[in-house]
Amino acid sequence: MKAEDEEVKYVPGFYAKKRPGAADLANRYIREWEDKKLVDKKKKAKDLIHPTICFSREIGVGALEVADILGEMMGYRVVDRQLIEHISEEAKLSEKTVQIFDESYPGKMNECLTYLFGEKAFIKSDYTRHLFSGIFAIAGLGPTIFVGRGAHLVLPRENVLAVRLISSRQYRIKRLAKILKAKEDDVDAKLNQLDKEQKNFFKRVYGKKDASSPHEFDLVINFDYFKEPRMVAEIVALAFQQKYGAMVKKK
């Protein structure tokens, strides 16, 4: 095994493509919110949210790569876990998104919390409020693809194509070992840790024992049988078109 200072380092969503930093993207979206000023209290939340694609995934399966390909095909922005976490944890950004959320969707936060947690919703942390408001505020900006953090559980379900990406554990291990140039045994140990963290997140934030149930999704795709990210992106694009009647333009 590697020494402690040589432990396999992997952040869910990492792959070969270089992406803009979470801080830069968050600041860009804040400027868009301020410019757009999308506040219409007469409309319901679902009327202000564009049809959205939300990916849930087993860590390491390659969901962000699929989302990036799909975003290029459809002209949708892609919002990953790191960006959502950045907005949720940065105090000034969190306050801003909560303000935007409450102005745009009055009463919706309490509705979401009560639906998920019942009458004891008030005991949930500020983090949950910031997480939900960040997801809603970004979705209200325009067509969006979310990857991770349970966005499909937060947004109006009729406005969401919810997709779950899975694979065998061996597939995930081999994929990450190749990307990280690490030993499979070390990747296996890291996945144990990350899977546990994901399970704890869904229990803490959503009160769920498991990260997902297949009944929550429109579509479940197994990478053991659909190995090419572009093939998966095309399947999701077709499903989106069938559900919402939206034309998908390939670049």
Distance between CA 128 and CA 218 in Å, rounded?
25
Q: What are 90's two structure tokens?
A: 């940065």
Strands (E), the chain: 52-57, 77-79, 144-147, 160-166, 219-222
How far is the CA of 87 from the CAs of 14, 26, 171, 197, in angstroms?
18, 7, 31, 19
**pLDDT (tens place) for every residue of the chain, 251 residues total:** 444 445 666 656 555 566 666 667 666 666 665 565 544 444 554 456 789 999 999 999 999 999 999 999 999 989 887 777 776 666 566 666 667 666 666 666 666 666 666 655 544 677 787 788 788 878 877 889 999 889 999 888 888 999 999 999 999 999 999 988 889 999 999 999 999 999 998 888 888 877 678 889 999 999 999 989 999 999 999 999 999 986 555 44
Fold topology of 30-243 = Rossmann fold (3.40.50)
The structural domains of the chain, with segments of one domain joined by +, span 30-243
* pTM (2 d.p.): 0.76
Q: Which helix (H) or strand (E) holds 87?
A: helix 81-89
Task: Enter the tokens of residue 81.
Answer: 């876990």
